[in-house]
Amino acid sequence: MFLRGIRGATTVEHNEAQEILTATGELLAAIVEANDFRPEEICSVFITVTEDITATFPARAIRTMIGWELVPLMCSLEVPVENSLPKCIRLMVQVNTTKSQAEINHIYLKEAKALRPDIVKLTNEATR
C-alpha cells in the first residue's frame, strides 16, 4: 500500500459561495470517479484557493458529502503569483492505494485545464 497524491483544479466565474461549493464538489467527484476510491481510503485533502475566492471555505462542500465527514480537510491560500490563473480552487487528495504513480488520474476542469495541459491530454487519452 502506498500514499499517493491526486491533484485537481477547477475555476469559478464569480466569488459566490454556492458556485464555489458546487465547483469543489464537482472536482472531487471527478477525482473519485477517475481514480475509483472510497472516502475511508483517504488520508487527507489539502485545498488551496486564489486570493480572489473569499465567499466561503471550499471544504464545506466536501464536509457535506456522504462518507466524507471524518476525512481531514485543510484550506489555505494559494501563493499569489503575478498573472496566475484567477478564481482557482486546487485539491491535493492523499489516498492510500495499491495503484502505481502512473495509474493515478489527476483532474483539471474548466479554465484550470490550462495549468497542466500535459496531464489533461494524458487523462483524456486514458479515458478513450
Show which residues are catalytic: 7, 63, 75, 78, 90, 108, 116
How many other C-beta atoms are found inside a 10 Å radius of the C-beta of residue 117? 10
Whether 39 and 93 have beta carbons less than 8 Å apart is answered as no
Whether 74 and 5 have beta carbons less than 8 Å apart is answered as no
DSSP track, 25-63: HHHHHHHHHHHT--GGGEEEEEEEE-TT--SS-THHHHH
Question: All 3 cell numbers of residue 86?
Answer: 484567477
